[in-house]
Chains A and B, each alone.
Chain A
Amino acid sequence: MRALLRALPWLYLALLYAFIFLPVVVLVLFSFQDGRLPVPPFQGPTLRWYGEVLSDSRLMAALGNSFLVALGSSALSVLLGFLAACGLARYRLPGSALLRGVLIAPMTVSYLIIALGLLSTLNAAGLPLSLWSVGAGHVVINLPLCFAIIYASMGGHQVSMERAARDLGAPEWKVMWLVTAPMLMPALLAAFFLSVTFSWDEFIIAFLLSRFDVTLPVEIWSLLRSGLSPRTNAIGSLVFLVSVALLLVLEATVFRKAGRR
């Protein structure tokens, strides 16, 4: 009885891990399915579906688009968030609480609503949908995040270093570029990579605001309409692999370093 009680937590742990990993395991396993359907029984491994995915020009184009949008919108979000954080953390502005509130506000609104609003506005203005509109939408959702992360990491201890740089003759943009930004590097990187992850995986804005050039989640979505296929498993597994690799690199560099300091 006591032994059972002691084992209970480990049993629960194992069960939950199984629940959490079940979809991923099935996804990856049946991406190697030598058959037309990704369901049991498993019919021996093949790399055929990976070959098909990698030679599918539409998927690869979508992959490229996703990278472009993710990197571009994240870079812009970090830049805008960094500048705003400098302005609001370093100087006293009238109504700064209100300004912060406005900058954070998009975080509290569902992506669907942000996408709808942008869609109506672009329609009303007669502007065409493109990767640019998707990128603009992704900056809207990532800017609050970047601003919040960077603003929170701007402590008072950097203020005197910025004063020192100014005192030694640095113009304002050089103070930010040579002193503030390098000191905030962990926060800037965290904000950037988090933004990349969100943008990379975002569906509804990309779905509603794009027309001919689409991002990867939208392309995968249209694959789903044709039913279950090991091809979808393969592309899903590839995306997972890339994300996990990115995560491990981050863990080994940025966060480990930040934790040690």
Chain B
Amino acid sequence: MTAPVSVRGVSRFYGEAAALADVSLEIAAGEFIVLLGPSGCGKTTLLSILGGFVSPSAGQVFIGGRDMDGLPPAKRPTTTMFQDYALFPHMSLIDNVGFGLRMRGQPRRARDARAMECLEMVGLATSAKRRPHELSGGQRQRVALARALAVDPDVLLLDEPLGALDLGLRRQMQEELKAIQKRVGTTFIHVTHDQEEAMAIADRIVVMNAGKVEDFATPAEIYLRPRSLFSAGFMGECNFLSARVEGPAGQGALALSGPAGPLTLPEAAFIGPAPAPGTRVTLCIRPEHLGPGPGGIPLGQGRIERLAFLGAHTRAVVSGATGPLIVALPQNSTAREGDSIALRAAPEALVALPAAGD
């Protein structure tokens, strides 16, 4: 089963401090949503509110069109996969997975059959009689997933479930999570602070900071057209340059004065309506969109300070007129430290956001 989730104006205060401030989200049935943000951004509070462990100070939550106000976790069409898995140490895997069905009054036969089905789905059917402490971290994590899915929830809430795994296993589990979600079609809401993980599994990402939603879109949109400076910076390395809007330059473009002289940007580069002349903006340029050319918006010359070969590309720190910039040079680049290069930005990948403080 699956259901849409609607979060309307939800806030949560602890004393004076707001852990969540007026958050609204519309999530479609069957979506894989990732709540992404640094620790303390409110993502776990939001998940707890969805699961019914914490009640909101203001606002409403609807799941499948039903108001969840005052419903305890047991009565909600959600289940949670906990960060530490929270497997019952005194029960075998099959009893762990069948626990939810047992609470719903299912007879042993039926619930064992369903539990086996779920264990099979995560590839642990042969270990059904084992106890959790006999399993590896990755296996425990799968049991926790099977247990949460066994009761066929409309919405599965995942609280940093991959945080305790090492990198290789984490990548593999991401694939599996995504595949299982596709198969069962349940709405997944997954909390993480790992930006790569978010991009690997999410249909849409909610970027959160200081209790607010900074951005809510597909991974590609958030990466390429971030809606806030925080969102741009959190989703990967980004160069920020300040500039001032001078006025229209014809053909749907705007003239700006940048750190390295005047430049022209298409209106599409601006998030929201084109700003009035005199407004200060911040240009966001990903390292891979900055380079010696050919073509693009000129941003002056720079000197290569440091080089690091990272496999897919070579990362260069370049000191220019505007302070150090990060540039991703192609794998086959012959540049050396100390070289001087021209800096040009690909116009279609350049984003201008209102300057910080505005």
Given the complex of chains A and B, what is the CA–CA distance between A179 and B95 in angstroms? 12
**A160–B83 touching, CB < 8 Å:** yes
Given the complex of chains A and B, what is the CA–CA distance between A163 and B148 in angstroms? 12
Supposing A168-B147, A183-B89, A183-B90 touch, asked if A163 and B80 sit within 8 A by C-beta, the answer is yes
Given the complex of chains A and B, what is the CA–CA distance between A178 and B90 in angstroms? 9
Supposing A168-B99, A174-B103 touch, asked if A163 and B151 sit within 8 A by C-beta, the answer is no
Shortest B222–chain A CB gap in Å is 30
Task: Scan residues 289-311 of chain B and give those whose CB is less than 8 A from a CB of chain A.
Answer: none
Among B16-24, B71-79, B117-125, B250-258, the stretch in contact with A: B71-79
**A167–B74 touching, CB < 8 Å:** yes
**B74–A166 touching, CB < 8 Å:** yes
Q: Could you tell me how many residues of chain B have their Cβ less than 8 Å away from some Cβ of chain A?
A: 25
Q: Is A161 part of the binding interface, using a Cβ–Cβ cutoff of 8 Å?
A: yes
Given the complex of chains A and B, what is the CA–CA distance between A9 and B89 in angstroms? 45
Please encode chain A, from 137 to 179, with 1 for each CB lying within 8 Å of some chain B CB and 0 for all others. 0000000000000000000010011011111111100100011
**B74–A163 touching, CB < 8 Å:** no
**B87–A161 touching, CB < 8 Å:** yes
**B87–A168 touching, CB < 8 Å:** no
- Neighbour of B74 across the interface among A160, A169, A183, A185, CB < 8 A: A169
Given the complex of chains A and B, what is the CA–CA distance between A157 and B86 in angstroms? 8
**A164–B151 touching, CB < 8 Å:** no
Shortest A2–chain B CB gap in Å is 51
**B84–A166 touching, CB < 8 Å:** no
**A182–B90 touching, CB < 8 Å:** yes
Given the complex of chains A and B, what is the CA–CA distance between A170 and B103 in angstroms? 5
Shortest A57–chain B CB gap in Å is 44
**In this complex, which of B51, B78, B86 has the most chain A Cβ atoms within 10 angstroms of its Cβ?**
B86
Shortest B101–chain A CB gap in Å is 9
Q: Is B82 part of the binding interface, using a Cβ–Cβ cutoff of 8 Å?
A: yes
Shortest A76–chain B CB gap in Å is 24
Supposing A169-B103, A179-B88 touch, asked if A164 and B74 sit within 8 A by C-beta, the answer is no
Which residues of the other chain, A, contact B86 by a CB distance below 8 angstroms? 160-161, 163-164
Given the complex of chains A and B, what is the CA–CA distance between A160 and B81 in angstroms? 10
Q: Is B100 part of the binding interface, using a Cβ–Cβ cutoff of 8 Å?
A: yes
Q: Is B104 part of the binding interface, using a Cβ–Cβ cutoff of 8 Å?
A: yes
Q: Is B53 part of the binding interface, using a Cβ–Cβ cutoff of 8 Å?
A: yes
Closest to B76 in A: A167
Given the complex of chains A and B, what is the CA–CA distance between A22 and B106 in angstroms? 62
Which residues of the other chain, A, contact B51 by a CB distance below 8 angstroms? 167
The 10 closest A-B pairs by CB, nearest first: A168-B100, A164-B86, A169-B103, A160-B86, A182-B90, A167-B73, A161-B86, A169-B74, A170-B103, A160-B82
Interface residues of A (CB under 8 A from B): 157, 160-161, 163-171, 174, 178-179, 182-183, 185
Interface residues of B (CB under 8 A from A): 51-53, 72-75, 78-80, 82-84, 86-90, 99-100, 103-104, 147-148, 151
